[in-house]
Copies of this chain bind each other. A is one copy, B any other.
């Protein structure tokens, strides 16, 4: 079950793109191109999350934000702010305007989607999948814990992300490049062979008590979760 998202943003092209893609992901989406109306519609729509432009023709994003926070029904509505580059990100960040996250335009939809899910995961865990499982492997994204056959496993941050990645698409083979792109922070340059080492570390951690190997090496192609 997916949630409802409301967008207040005056650039129609952005709204269109984001709305379309979010709907494709199963969210129910509604939007408004200006602040005052948006505020009203939003309260009727009762979304699980709001995407809010920082600079609007009528009301500023921060005013909307304050308005929302004053309304007891929406006090805890998660808000992700959309800001243009240079629009004093620091202020937004520092100024605790009650924003849950913000993203700088231009952004890729994937990045936005990831942030939306991250925020929803905290605020409204039922909307977003928080547990990934495969066979006797379980990963809890909220608590950041991993279990194999109900026995907890300790993983470093990178191994955690790596396993999380494999769990989103079990059985599928990923090349080292694909793994790098997705698991490592953008623009980080790491040797492709480095992945082998992390695979080894992950293997070592999750293959407890002689249980069966869960990571498959596919020569010349990459790795997969069995």
- A residues within 8 Å of B by Cβ? 17, 71-73, 75-76, 105-110, 122, 125, 142-144, 156-157, 171-173, 178, 218-221, 224
Copies of this subunit: 2
Contact B173 A142 (CB under 8 A): yes
Question: Cβ of A143 and Cβ of B173 under 8 Å apart?
Answer: yes
Taking CB atoms, residues of chain B closer than 8 Å to A157 are 219-221
Known interface pairs A108-B75, A219-B156; A143-B122 also in contact (CB < 8 Å) = no
Q: How far does the alpha carbon of A4 sit from the alpha carbon of B73 in the complex, in Å?
A: 23
How far apart sit A71 and B224, CA to CA, in the bound complex (Å)? Answer: 32
CB distance from A119 to the nearest CB of B (A): 13
Cβ contact within 8 Å between B142 and A108: no
Which of B106, B122, B143, B173 contacts A73 (CB under 8 A)? Answer: B106
B109, B122, B143, B172: the one within 8 Å of A142 (CB) = B172
Question: Could you say which of A73, A106, A108, A218 has the most chain B C-beta atoms within 10 Å of its C-beta?
Answer: A73
A172 pairs with B156, CB closer than 8 A: no
Q: In the complex, A173→B110 CA distance in Å?
A: 26
